[in-house]
Amino acid sequence: MTELNALTIAAARDLLRAGDLTSTALTQACLTAIEGAGRLNAFVHKTPDLAMARAEAADAWLKAGDAPALCGIPIGIKDLFCTEGVPSQAASRILEGFCPEYESTVSAQLRDAGAVMLGKLNMDEFAMGSSNESSVYGNAINPWRADGQDLTPGGSSGGSAAAVAADLCLGATGTDTGGSIRQPAAFTGTVGIKPTYGRCSRWGIVAFASSLDQAGPMTRTVRDAAIMLEAMCGHDPKDSTSADLAVPDFEAMLTGDIRGQKIGIPREYRMDGMPAEIEALWSGGSAMLRDAGAEIVDISLPHTKYALPAYYVIAPAEASSNLARYDGVRYGHRAKLGPGDGITQMYEKTRAEGFGPEVQRRVMIGTYVLSAGFYDAYYNRARKVRTLIKQDFDRAFAQGIDAILTPATPSAAFQLGAMDDADPVQMYLNDVFTVPVNLAGLPGIALPAGLDAHGLPLGLQLIGRPWDEAALLNTAEVLERAAGFVSKPEKWW
């Protein structure tokens, strides 16, 4: 019998509506699992009292009838989302002690849909990282293991991925700036979707790179992702980049039929030195979609090789601007000042103490590329490259391509600390398959499709047309069903 905390959102929803399960029992099962999983360091601010109060309210709503699909479902919230009265630090020392007096739009929509917040989840500091090793809370740890070694759950949404994979919650929120939902999903054998830029409000989410950041759900199945995404989407007048578009019933559009669709395979994603396991997984995914009635088409995205360099100019530039507000004046950490120290010393000491090495590195890069004499040489040029990357995708979709299939990551999860002494660029290469999607503002989903030689999950990525998450989810569910991935990590924590 499936343990309550291991249920899918869809299965739990049906049991709750039928009266065969209560949200209080389901929530208690998750809280018990969280207490026993401290070794994973996934939940960093636990809210058990709030969770049980919301679960009781959800049970009353369910009994009254007409409750939304997420009513009574226990979820985790990434520490990047501001939550009223609950610490929201973005995993940074500089926001130590910050408890917002307001709720982010996305977490408010989930709350209003009856979802039960279990607590806040670990992440890379200010969402800057691909391994969850830059957090002030310490590393989040992947529930999957190889040779007894601690592995990264990916980043920046590593806590969210680890919590879902370890059955600590039924779903979790993540954010994706260059792959921070999809890469952790691939590393942990879970499903993560980054919707089209503007589909989910960014209001109340601590900003990294404003033109790239987008919230999305992390779940166990594609159907669960469809259910949770619908609750997270919608127009928000408080966010000028939020799209005023109707939100489809994503679950209702999971027809399982992709006959006649054209799936593009971009030749530029066949990188030198790509592991044979990733190549085989990709080929296998293509065959599964072909067997389901889709036509597989080779396509070209010629500016792909410039995506990472462009991203690592644009994202740090926007970060350096967004993080200027953390100065010790209004909220969060403030350094102790010595005799004779003025406001300049307060800024310098506070930011030196409050920001970790990766955040400092990106702020310095961003400040450099925005400075006089380098703005045109770097930032403006990167923006032009971004336009060319978007045009590559537009051209492919204009030629009738319905979705694009690629690997999600260049490898399975790697050992924590493995890149401590490496060039930072080696870490950045983890985002090689995911970054172009953010630069083009497109929806992308990662789902588990196999295991490597060490028994670790490997993921595939599907990229969809703008605003067509419904079709993307439908294609993903067809691939999910064909892949038949049911593996779970053995419990060691």
The residues carrying an active-site annotation are: 78, 156, 180
DSSP reduced 3-state for 275: coil
Distance between CA 385 and CA 82 in Å, rounded? 33
Q: Give the position of tokens 């790179």.
A: 209
- Spatial distance between the Cα atoms of 428 and 71, rounded to a whole number of angstroms: 38
129: helix, coil or strand?
coil
What is the CB neighbour count within 10 angstroms for residue 28? 18
Residues 6+ apart with CB under 8 A from 58: 16, 23, 67, 71, 72, 114, 116
φ/ψ (deg, to 5) at 490: -75, 135
Alpha-carbon distance 406 to 144, whole Å? Answer: 23
* CA–CA dist 235, 246 (Å, integer): 8
- Sign of dihedral through CA atoms 69, 71, 75, 78? positive
Angle of CA points 476, 253, 55, to nearest 5°: 90
For 10: left if phi > 0, alpha if psi spans -120 to 50, otherwise beta; the answer is alpha
Longest CA pairwise span in the chain (Å): 74
Provide the Cα torsion 13, 103, 212, 475; round to 10°.
Answer: 10
| DSSP 8-state secondary structure symbol assigned to residue 488 | -
Residue 214 bridge partners (DSSP): 176
List % helix, strand, coil for the chain (3-state, nearest 5).
40, 15, 45
Tell me, what DSSP letter sits at residue 379?
Answer: I
Q: How far is CA 468 from the centre of its chain?
A: 19
First to last CA, the chain: 21
Among 50, 15, 59, 10, which Cα is nearest to 31's? 50
CA 63 from chain centre, in angstroms, equals 33
- Which two three-digit tokens encode residue 191? 């499903």
Residue whose tokens read 């953010």: 438
